[in-house]
Structure 1
């Protein structure tokens, strides 16, 4: 019986697939162990030219000594931070060109090895915009000084001077407003991406440790009578790989939906077959004593929708109902339809959603306060909401903490091209 192990390099490669900013991972020796295409393009190298190289290859020579001490101190303190706060930092391309940048640092540890994940943003345009403000201010001050001198000799020029000053001040305020808006958006984006990378590191660490442990233990059971023990560990590996795959699919879906690259594939299929498959797959994940109650005499109807997306929506909601409900509870799936619309109601007897969190439940990466101890990324409901909006559907819910939740879905039976 073969075992399955997912290597660090495979995980890193998958995680960086959808990241648009430059991303580097260095070990405690400050050697580059992984980087994404954006980082390669940003510094003008081929990927094989950077892997295994010291991080100093991307830093101007005069900053090497300070940077090495900074990284050693950072790894020792083990806390995420923004590099370069209060001072300018620069990157060095293969051609020898330097450019200003910002870098968010996040330490993590896999299998006892320490690494630092760096998210790099080229801020050349922002620096140029700031210089534009400085130049504009200098020009304004020069003009004010000149007009003030002229004012002494001609009262008639006062009106013209005021008009010019008003125009210059307006331009200055508009430029400052643009810069403030751009800075705020950059901060929000960097915070979101840092949160994303921290979330990914946390969500992958536990399943990977479980896979490694189970694969190691499975090797020890070589006798026929130990088949049951082997099966137990192999099922653990299978479930954790399925969980990791689910997370990766969610992250890739977010990227494709956000960039407009997601393509819907509409086809004709049976509602009954879809429901049977979704419920069958959900039954595998039921806790002890849990059951799924759904219509046994459901009338079949032909749908014209994206079958994969509809299956994803229903499976995600059923899995949430199972995950957030206790043992010996019932999950109910009600299905109704008319000439135009399908309606699904998924009801559980789980932990419910606190009232103060309900307004944020469809926001990306948001997780309710009482769900933080459960595995999850906080993007499943966001993906469902975006898909339903794109397909002309709708979703809403009713929930009471410690009593359960009901999610209501409405979707056209046939997509209108």
Structure 2
């Protein structure tokens, strides 16, 4: 009965969040599409391109939100899909960093440094992308003045660590322990859009890999999020375990 109540409460939170978070991007998409439809003959090419970019940006935001909701719902039902495979984690992280560099243009200096041995890593690429994307997006979003963001990838014989450090607004110390819970946000970010799902999703993705997540933060000083993974997740798929033993 208690589990059923928790699920009903979670569903109510999802509905409320979707209703709130979808309203603004949908309004923007509708306004931009209407402008293009009615006034495209009078708009300069650069202006038309900007309206199309707005539609794309808001559509990506809604897609990301949908993916986040789906992952959290699956976690609540203990139905999360976990499909690890061999990965070039160095190339994977480098590609994600490049994607974020392209999105922010010259507004931020995102620096990737690599040390140690990163080969021999197994992971679920979709879940890893979701986790790293969330942390990098937070680093950008909560550094409103633009600044350097450091991404440090470190490999060892048995594991891989990814540290993402920003110099933004930071997180109040007395609120840090609850930030990995769904729909929880710091009191100093109320004016910045967000769902309160990001770090909860990151933790869920890391947990499925058998890894750990931790953070260090001070208000007005910035935040460092550390993601730690074993090179071989304990929850390898049955056929992978069989092949490994043969």
Calculate the TM-score normalised by the size of structure 1: 0.52
Shift of 1:187: 6.2
- Give, in whole Å, the separation in 2 of the partners of 1:285 and 1:381: 21
Q: Deviations over 1:213-246 (max 9, x none)?
A: 11122232236x8211111010000000000000
Give 1:320's aligned residue.
138
Give 2:40's aligned residue.
221
- Give, in whole Å, the separation in 2 of the partners of 1:340 and 1:185: 37
Shift of 1:328: 3.1
Give 1:265's aligned residue.
83
Give 2:124's aligned residue.
306
Q: Which moved more, 1:277-286 or 1:315-324?
A: 277-286
Q: Deviations over 1:372-394 (max 9, x none)?
A: 22221111211211221221100
The answer to whether the Cα contact below 8 Å between 1:292 and 1:332 also exists between their aligned partners in 2 is yes
1:169-180 matched pairs, under 5 angstroms: none
Distance 1:255 1:192, change over 3 A: closer
1:176-187 matched pairs, under 5 angstroms: none
Q: Which has the higher contact order (CA 8 A, sep 6+)?
A: 2
The answer to whether the Cα contact below 8 Å between 1:353 and 1:401 also exists between their aligned partners in 2 is yes
Give the greater-gyration-radius structure (CA). Answer: 1
Q: Deviations over 1:304-346 (max 9, x none)?
A: 2112211221111001100110233011001111110101110
Shift of 1:286: 2.0
The answer to whether the Cα contact below 8 Å between 1:287 and 1:327 also exists between their aligned partners in 2 is no
1:277-296 matched pairs, under 5 angstroms: 277-286=95-104, 289-295=107-113
The answer to whether the Cα contact below 8 Å between 2:172 and 2:186 also exists between their aligned partners in 1 is yes
Count of residue pairs the alignment pairs up: 234
Give unpaired runs (5+ residues) of structure 1. 1-181
Calculate the TM-score normalised by the size of structure 2: 0.86
Distance 1:205 1:247, change over 3 A: same
What is the Cα-based RMSD across aligned positions, in Å? 2.3
Q: 1:341 aligns with which of 148, 159, 166?
A: 159
Q: Deviations over 1:155-203 (max 9, x none)?
A: xxxxxxxxxxxxxxxxxxxxxxxxxxx5x77766555443332222111
Give 2:148's aligned residue.
330
Q: Secondary structure at the match of 1:320?
A: helix
1:356-375 matched pairs, under 5 angstroms: 356-375=174-193
Give unpaired runs (5+ residues) of structure 2. 237-246
